[in-house]
Structure 1
Amino acid sequence: MKSKAKKVNKALDDAIPLQNPIKIHEAMRYSLLAGGKRVRPILCLAACELVGGDEAVAIPVACAIEMIHTMSLIHDDLPCMDNDDLRRGKPTSHKAFDEATAILAGDSLLSLSFEHVAAETENVSASRIVRAIAEMGSAVGSEGLVAGQVVDLCSEGKELSLDELEYIHVHKTSKLLEAAVVCGAIMGGGDDIEIERLRKYARFIGLLFQVVDDILDVTKSSEELGKTAGKDLVSDKATYPKLMGLEKTKEFVGELVGKAMEELSCFDALRAAPLYHLADYIAYRQN
């Protein structure tokens, strides 16, 4: 993970040079290069290699996914959304700059993500590049990330069922993580069967990621998380620990890990090893 993250960080740094207008590029770089685990781009590269591709062909789309993810964090933290002051252990974008700059930085990262894939991907057929761009768009739009955010905002203070909570998490978190894995497999030359098996794997670990986030929100401090702890409790949001209890939620984590790993069973075990370990990492991370 450290090796892959280092390559991703270098590529992200190169993708957004500090140029005019200085303020907007400072804001984009501030949030994009603030750290983070780089789970999504690492999954993208691992999926590419799993189907026999060279990681170099997936670096642009891996970076693009991280740009989209960072955009979603910038916008999610805004006062009109979750109204948060801390992200990745640093003041949120609208606190470090201002609300208008934060919104525009997010917009710029989103548009750059698609441009970056189209302009920087090499040695991949045009049809696969277009397919990956379509996957990204679907993950972030009104049937993906935006859908999850809208329903999440509309659900504050309301009693939700587990199915309704799963809808929020699948769309708000899982869809983009799914796109990371699927786009990696597309760029790596995977066939339709391989891509769909990896899509199922990604759906399980995408939901897993958010379930673990719900657990960490009630068990860790803000210092440990690098973001404000206990926000869901204060805003009376539905979470898995709230609906299922903490112990049942931890059991659910184990179920999701098992289902994700089952989807990898048809692949070469050595090539699939990073994805097995990434599922474990997501399940048992501490921040």
Structure 2
Amino acid sequence: MQLNVQDLLRSGAEITDQALERLLPSPDTLPHSIHRAMRHSTFAGGKRLRPILAMEAARMTAGTGEIPAGAADLGAAIEMLHTYSLIHDDLPALDNDDLRRGKPTCHVAFGEAIAILAGDALQTLAFQTIASLPTPPATTVAILREISLAVGTGVGPNSPLPPGMIGGQVVDIESEGKQPTAELVESIHRAKTGALITTSIVSGGLYGIASHSASENTIERLRTFGEKAGLAFQIVDDVLDMTQSSEELGKTAGKDTASVKATWPAIYGIDQSRKDAAELIADAFAALEPFGQQADALKALANYLVERKH
């Protein structure tokens, strides 16, 4: 089955935006400032890759050929979490950036205090949305656990390693200015970026199998796919930061190099980084082989992750 990935991205983004429009408070809801700040960053653009991955994983595991009803709300919640992380990542205390998705960052537009609270509010609304999903209670709890571990520091009973997104951000901050090592770069990438991509796919898979039984192997294959594709995504992001302009990226280019951040090209160079990303995508594809054509959409999206130019 041949898929047009641009059509897939366009339709997935439209479905996600419709859900976000419905779930986010309107700009006229009091207090105006925080709701306008939340919407400013949420609707500033972006590819909606994470929610699209979640919805396509749900479609695949549901086995009906359709995105299950309500899966768009799961995708929207994941996009809220992604947007919250970007708002906080851009703050003066962290990356101190004034451009995101081609528009002024939240703290530039609304001030630092409102930006911090807007990020907090998006995170809270995301978990509220997940708790309200039309899934059996056991599935809802499984999705909440999966996503909370991926977003946090990795601390908790039976928590996976490496740490989640926040844990990866901490390691990234504390390693800034130090000579990067291969082990350090991989641990940061798997946590800071890879964890949310992986949990988008795994939580979507959990959502899709909520109404029927599926083997544990199904989720583990999705997790492997997500981990490989997520690492490839960040490697390509590192390469683009070094090779593209701020206008092309929609964010400030070259900041990783200027601040001596731990990046894949800093260790392996640009050419090897591109080869590594391609190999990771090949490994990701292998994990989905048992699903046949039902995995075509996820494979198309994974290809897009390494072929994109911004």
TM-score range, shorter chain: over 0.9
The answer to whether structure 1 residue 185 and structure 2 residue 205 are counterparts is yes
Question: Among the aligned pairs, what percent are the same residue?
Answer: 47
CA distance in 1 between counterparts of 2:17 and 2:72 reads: 10
The answer to whether structure 1 residue 233 and structure 2 residue 257 are counterparts is yes
Partner of 1:285: 308
Structure 2 spans left out of the alignment, 5+ residues: 1-8, 155-163
Partner of 1:94: 107
CA distance in 2 between counterparts of 1:279 and 1:37 reads: 13
Root mean square deviation of aligned Cα:
1.0
CA contact (8 A) 1:41 1:63 kept: yes
Q: Deviations over 1:97-155 (max 9, x none)?
A: 00000000000000110101112x12x21100110011111011112011100000000
CA distance in 2 between counterparts of 1:206 and 1:250 reads: 14
Trace 1:158-173 onto structure 2 (pairs within 5 A).
Answer: 158-173=178-193
Q: Identify the match of residue 297 of structure 2 among 268, 274, 277.
A: 274
Partner of 1:214: 238
Q: Once the 2 structures are TM-superposed, how far is the Cα of residue 13 of structure 1 from its aligned partner?
A: 1.0
Partner of 1:84: 97
Please, which moves more after superposition, 243-252 or 68-77? 243-252
CA contact (8 A) 2:87 2:115 kept: yes
Q: Once the 2 structures are TM-superposed, how far is the Cα of residue 240 of structure 1 from its aligned partner?
A: 1.1
Trace 1:1-287 onto structure 2 (pairs within 5 A).
Answer: 1-18=9-26, 19-52=29-62, 54-119=67-132, 121-122=133-134, 124-143=135-154, 144-189=164-209, 190-269=214-293, 271-287=294-310
TM-score (norm 2): 0.90
Look up the equivalent residue of 1:247 and give its one-letter code: D
CA distance in 1 between counterparts of 2:95 and 2:207 reads: 34
* Secondary structure in structure 2 of the residue aligned to 1:51: helix
Q: Once the 2 structures are TM-superposed, how far is the Cα of residue 61 of structure 1 from its aligned partner?
A: 1.4
Q: Deviations over 1:231-279 (max 9, x none)?
A: 001111121111111111111111111111111101132x111011001
* Secondary structure in structure 1 of the residue aligned to 2:290: coil
CA distance in 2 between counterparts of 1:68 and 1:198 reads: 20
CA distance in 2 between counterparts of 1:256 and 1:133 reads: 28
CA distance in 2 between counterparts of 1:117 and 1:257 reads: 29
CA contact (8 A) 1:27 1:93 kept: yes
Q: Deviations over 1:202-223 (max 9, x none)?
A: 0001111110000000110000
CA contact (8 A) 2:180 2:261 kept: no
Counting matched residue pairs gives 284
CA contact (8 A) 1:13 1:33 kept: no
TM-score (norm 1): 0.97
Q: Once the 2 structures are TM-superposed, how far is the Cα of residue 17 of structure 1 from its aligned partner?
A: 2.5
CA distance in 2 between counterparts of 1:277 and 1:201 reads: 13
CA distance in 1 between counterparts of 2:40 and 2:262 reads: 31
Q: Once the 2 structures are TM-superposed, how far is the Cα of residue 160 of structure 1 from its aligned partner?
A: 2.1
Q: Deviations over 1:150-205 (max 9, x none)?
A: 00000011112111110001000000111100110101015421111001000001
CA distance in 2 between counterparts of 1:148 and 1:95 reads: 25
* Secondary structure in structure 1 of the residue aligned to 2:170: helix
Look up the equivalent residue of 1:147 and give its one-letter code: G
Look up the equivalent residue of 1:245 and give its one-letter code: G
CA distance in 2 between counterparts of 1:114 and 1:92 reads: 23
CA contact (8 A) 1:77 1:84 kept: yes
Please, which moves more after superposition, 188-197 or 68-77? 188-197
CA contact (8 A) 2:184 2:262 kept: no
Change (3 A) 1:195 1:57: farther
* Secondary structure in structure 2 of the residue aligned to 1:157: coil
